[in-house]
Structure 1
């Protein structure tokens, strides 16, 4: 779909009026937000003229201006000292590796960039070089005292490149007492592994990609790491990070392991209680040239001020960014991100409109925050959480929307990280009213609770909810829904095919938006604060911030 940007607002209005063939009667019982409300905003935000909504591009300007314009049109107040924008200082780093990564030793291996590996550097300098850096296999790359696990025990990795597995030791172990079994912990996330390798003083960190434990295929890794990356600006110019961070394919990793005499199930080897890091007796050489660009990106924030407890806030979040322009597939190089995450922003706008039109004004302040650079590592929400506009200890809850799914209404709803905090009960209350089933993570091994913007609120103690439709699609059934989600994850997630279409089904998105609107309405009328469950790792942070 290609339209001039000047016609996009008119398009949104036309879609809302015409309905694009979508019936909205199915979602009326859930609340005031309709499928057409959602669809109209997606049509604008996922249009080719926004060039994939990557920060620092004209797509950012168009997307953020559209969101701010909608806030103003609805009557939301500017949320940041008279402005709808919060500046987020970032640096764009374009890492260009040498065409090959050379592995030398008893066996010499030459790996090809993008085909076999992706590497980058956060360091703000002209180039970095790793020359004959010794390779060591450190299992899952985890130091977790509470699980009595330390893959770096007795290991000096200074000057070395560490090879680690994605996910954590519990995944597919068959033993629920190892970490959290098939439910990924934060130790399984690639972000953690980079951070831990830097703390250990490694020169480089390479993660072995495997589709099932990563929960996505190699094309996702390649597309997410082959273009320039954004980072929050840091005082040390990121010199505290490893020189090199990256991934290699499972096939390439098997070549390394075979050359070192390691065969068989590498994951089973690494999860043994007595596992010790293994020097591979191979050296790695690769260079990375670096270009830097410093610029300001923006979160967009609008508010409805509470009429009796204005200093207490409920924050709705949805990231506006996607991947921009990337590798072309069948002539299309614009990664429009219709579901990821134009759907979430559309829901946020729908909820904002519903609040402004509600007869009962909220007692607490409602904050609508559309954040930047989620795709680059949850940067916009991280910046807000560490530079809050509204006090964190008086932030009641965060309700996040990310990839709501174009599959239709469901008979179930899914809570990412179910069992973490009291917001589960708010979802359960809605489910009871509308005869829905509540489930936990549909893919617990994917570590979804650590993969979207709610996580940065959780890290500072704010009870955070990431709720989505389930898989039991009305009129289609659960097996059909599972197949649709699997197909999307394998063929559309972070691909050029995540596009808007006039016949996309937005009823499920409206269903989720209405449930979250209802939950926010209830939270806004209360005087109590939801808390974390006793077993949650975030409870102590909240208790401290609230003076408990």
Structure 2
């Protein structure tokens, strides 16, 4: 009798535990996470900023709470990406004792300062209208020889101005500081050029290293299929500080993409606390610098070996689930639906489980959403990688504005999507479903 009671107790525990863990995915928990991530204190979570650093510390702490194993660099939860920034401090240029407007020249160098008083120390060349600015610069940056370039032609002068704006913006990050180029680009002034004898240059800029970081944690698989990986991801960065509108300048990014990160964290907690030994490894990732051109996901994909990429069974990326879809409540769409069997298999799983949730094909084909989120760098390398979203992007007036605030979100919609995904992903991590490319 005692044995029967023990078995009965174990069966009851087995039934109750998943339901209990499932109930942890709630509007209260979702709001707690999104309120934290979309707080003004994080200053819009711009990649490489103090706000992003605080964001990644928060995500790391949550992964630790759930008992997930670090999967970043050197046994940490972080994968660091080093960039460099430059910030212009001051500049002035006199040619033949005549001041040149700052809009008419560009000091193209990584040096922190440059003082110049002798024209004879310069190589002087002319970039004609028929010449190409980019080609000329590519040639000049390979040498340390100080060079003054007279820039002719509207197109070349426009490219010069655009490059100056880009490189002097402290929020524009460079892959490296090469320390070699010493170029003075000047919009052509024929009367000065023909009698050019004197120069006085004073230039100062501040250079600094930027560290962005992906956050990575995993639930290790058990058994011979442990090397097979199911990735669940979302980008944690946003666009920082914008021009002030009605006293607000912080782009909080509640839907884009605090909502997606809330899904990653709650799915990590859900799978982590179920105490099930899954055959496949589950890798949870929040990506940096999606808004700057998928930098974080591209870096991660580039730093994986061919074998590691081959072992990724699927990447389910989550982006903007804070509002009901164009097809209504309790629904989400999958980008690139027809590029693999993943979308149809996940949709079939939720249908079989009779939950009130549906997955459908991306309705915005003209927007090319499949290549605009963090699934893309993996997809181009042959990985089955898709993004799940719900927000009707065609009519979302808050997208990339200071109005993307926590109070604009539908928290029940977020919970519905997360719970739907937890069911849809289950047979994949258990090894019962293996999606294929089409």
Shorter-chain TM range is 0.5 to 0.7
1:440 aligns with 2:355: no
Q: Which residue of 2 aligns with 1:38?
A: 30
Q: Which residue of 2 aligns with 1:343?
A: 259
Q: Which residue of 2 aligns with 1:397?
A: 314
Of 481, 488, 500, the match for 2:406: 500
5 Å-filtered alignment, 1:314-325, equals 314-325=230-241
5 Å-filtered alignment, 1:182-193, equals none
1:465 aligns with 2:371: no
> Structure 2: how far apart are the matches of 1:492 and 1:290?
36
TM value normalised by structure 1: 0.55
What's the offset of the Cα at 1:303? 0.9
Of 158, 165, 168, the match for 2:132: 158
- 8 Å contact kept, 1:430–1:515: no
What's the offset of the Cα at 1:301? 0.9
Q: Which residue of 2 aligns with 1:89?
A: 82
Distance 1:436 1:369, change over 3 A: closer
Count of matched residue positions in the alignment of Structure 1 and Structure 2: 340
What's the offset of the Cα at 1:492? 1.3
What's the offset of the Cα at 1:95? 8.7
Q: Which residue of 2 aligns with 1:519?
A: 424
TM value normalised by structure 2: 0.67
Q: Which residue of 1 aligns with 2:208?
A: 293
1:64 aligns with 2:51: no
Gaps of 5+ in 2: 1-18, 92-102, 114-125, 136-154, 160-165, 186-203
Of 445, 450, 453, the match for 2:374: 453
Query: Which structure: larger Rg?
Result: 2
Of 357, 378, 390, the match for 2:273: 357
1:233 aligns with 2:175: yes
What's the offset of the Cα at 1:333? 1.3
Q: Deviations over 1:399-422 (max 9, x none)?
A: 101111234872533121221112
Gaps of 5+ in 1: 1-26, 99-112, 114-119, 135-155, 162-201, 207-223, 244-288, 471-481, 534-548
Q: Deviations over 1:240-268 (max 9, x none)?
A: xxx9xxxxxxxxxxxxxxxxxxxxxxxxx
Of 71, 76, 87, the match for 1:79: 71
Q: Deviations over 1:89-136 (max 9, x none)?
A: 12335699x9xxxxxxxxxxxxxx9xxxxxx99996889xxx9885xx
Two-structure CA RMSD over aligned residues (Å): 3.9
Q: Which has the higher helix share?
A: 2
> Structure 2: how far apart are the matches of 1:385 and 1:60?
21
- 8 Å contact kept, 2:357–2:416: no
- 8 Å contact kept, 1:133–1:159: no
1:303 aligns with 2:226: no
> Structure 1: how far apart are the matches of 2:421 and 2:347?
12
What's the offset of the Cα at 1:432? 2.2
> Structure 2: how far apart are the matches of 1:133 and 1:510?
60
Q: Deviations over 1:434-493 (max 9, x none)?
A: 3655433222211111111010111221100212237xxxxxxxxxxx6xx5442xx311
> Structure 2: how far apart are the matches of 1:310 and 1:235?
41
Give the 3-state SS of the residue equivalent to 2:389 in structure 1.
Answer: strand
Q: Deviations over 1:224-283 (max 9, x none)?
A: 9996444462597999xxx9xxxxxxxxxxxxxxxxxxxxxxxxxxxxxxxxxxxxxxxx
